[in-house]
């Protein structure tokens, strides 16, 4: 029996008749699995965080999904703007709630990240989300939605490219294999030796070797730690924590990992995967720790399997990671793989 135990599992199973025919509670961990997608399905395009700078990005996001064989239904307020936010909180939350409630919509794709998703968490209808489990895709600031929905419903969601992001062949291929094919994905960095004698780019490095199994939790480090002390922080017990970030000075990464340590989260995880921290260098001089030193200080003493360099984060080609999916990680090989399906047929 897993960490939630028999009582929690039985309680969630007992809720299944109340959730409707579309809500199947997975046997392990009380997880809710969304349905797989098929070409021709309708997906909602929503803006829970920041607006785009150019309406062309909204057009491109829709065209990407159509090129994947899907039909697109934009949220009523997906093109709104209020300062650094894609409209007022109530309108952005309305689009999310409406997308989950609509039986004709099979997935919810976020236009972009930025800032503001955490403002919506008290406004989301978690009963509706629980009763209508469907794919939610996005990353960066969308981490707030992944964490809250995982904590409040157990629904597996997906940390991966936003609609307005890069949809290169690698990302598109992952989308088809995972969401259409229900493939048990094996997440291994692409080898890019180029004209170098040995591979330099896309390298992983073990912090502490070994293998671990558990459900994935995490996302953007800054967004995750900002939820500390709230009811929207997910459970860390026995989990595999994955993290990424962008444009954060090393001292801030150090402080945020320190927050996770002080709140007891790091002491409860079974494994650790660090993706890319893009534009997070220490700068010139010797006034900063490096990211390697910071990870050695916070992660190595845990004695759990851990590695860095996974293709997760603000990078052109990125893994589509199922938040709540059960995986096995191999820190020495720098890879992880799904142990169970994360989508229903």
CB 314 within 8 A of CB 244: yes
Q: Can you give the pLDDT at residue 298?
A: 98
The DSSP code sequence of 172-200 is HHHHIIIIIT----EEEPPPB-TTSSS--
Q: Can you give the pLDDT at residue 239?
A: 98
The CATH T-level fold of domain 22-180 is Rossmann fold (3.40.50)
Q: Where are the domains of the chain?
A: 22-180, 187-338
Of the candidates 319, 340, 341, the one whose C-alpha atom is nearest the C-alpha of residue 137 is 319
What is the CATH number that goes with domain 187-338?
A: 3.50.30.60
**Residues forming the active site:** 140, 244, 314
| pLDDT tens, the chain, 345 aa long | 333 333 333 333 333 333 333 333 333 357 899 999 999 999 999 999 999 999 999 999 999 999 999 999 999 999 999 999 999 999 999 999 999 999 999 999 999 999 999 999 999 999 999 999 999 999 999 999 999 999 999 999 999 999 999 999 999 999 999 999 999 999 999 988 788 888 888 899 999 999 999 999 999 999 999 999 999 999 999 999 999 999 999 999 999 999 999 999 999 999 999 999 999 988 776 678 999 999 999 999 999 999 999 999 999 999 999 999 999 999 999 999 999 999 999
First to last CA, the chain: 25
Q: Can you give the pLDDT at residue 16?
A: 36
CB 29 within 8 A of CB 4: yes
Q: Tell me whether residue 14 is exposed, middle or buried, using C-beta atoms within 10 angstroms of its C-beta: 0 to 12, 13 to 18, 19 or more.
A: exposed
Contacts of 28 (CB under 8 A, 6+ apart): 2, 326, 340
Task: Please give the Cα distance from 286 to 36 (Å, whole number).
Answer: 50
Kind of pairing between the strands at 42-46 and 71-74: parallel
Q: Can you give the pLDDT at residue 5?
A: 39
């Amino acid at each position: 029996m897993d960490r939630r135990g028999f009582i929690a599992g039985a309680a969630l199973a007992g809720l299944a008749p109340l959730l409707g025919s579309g809500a199947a509670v997975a046997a392990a961990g009380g997880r809710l699995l969304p349905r797989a997608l098929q070409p021709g399905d309708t997906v909602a395009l929503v803006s829970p965080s920041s607006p785009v700078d150019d309406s062309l990005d909204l057009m491109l996001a829709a065209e990407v999904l159509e090129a994947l064989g899907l039909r697109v239904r934009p949220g009523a307020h997906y093109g709104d703007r209020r300062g650094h936010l894609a409209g007022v909180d109530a309108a952005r939350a309305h689009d999310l709630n409406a997308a989950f409630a609509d039986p004709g919509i099979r997935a919810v794709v976020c236009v972009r990240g930025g800032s503001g998703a955490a403002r919506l968490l008290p406004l989301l209808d978690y009963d509706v989300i629980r009763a209508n489990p469907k794919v939610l895709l996005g990353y960066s600031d969308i981490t707030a939605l992944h964490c809250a929905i995982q904590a409040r419903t157990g629904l597996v969601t997906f940390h991966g490219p936003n609609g307005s992001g890069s949809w290169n062949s690698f990302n598109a291929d992952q989308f088809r294999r995972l969401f259409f094919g229900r493939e048990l994905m094996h997440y291994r960095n692409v080898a890019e030796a180029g004209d170098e004698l040995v591979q330099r780019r896309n390298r992983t490095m073990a912090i502490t070797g070994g293998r671990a199994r558990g459900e994935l939790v995490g996302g953007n480090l800054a967004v995750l730690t900002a939820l500390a002390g709230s009811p929207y922080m997910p459970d860390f017990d026995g989990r595999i924590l994955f993290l990424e970030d962008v444009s954060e000075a090393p001292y801030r990464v150090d402080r945020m990992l320190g927050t996770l340590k002080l709140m007891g989260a790091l002491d409860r995880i079974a494994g650790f995967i660090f993706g890319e921290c893009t534009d997070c260098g220490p700068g010139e001089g010797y006034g900063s720790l490096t990211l390697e030193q910071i990870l050695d200080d916070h992660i190595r003493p845990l004695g759990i399997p851990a590695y860095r360099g996974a293709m997760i984060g603000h990078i052109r080609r990125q893994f589509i990671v199922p938040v709540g999916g059960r995986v096995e990680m191999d820190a020495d090989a720098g890879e992880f793989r799904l142990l169970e399906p994360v989508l229903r047929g």
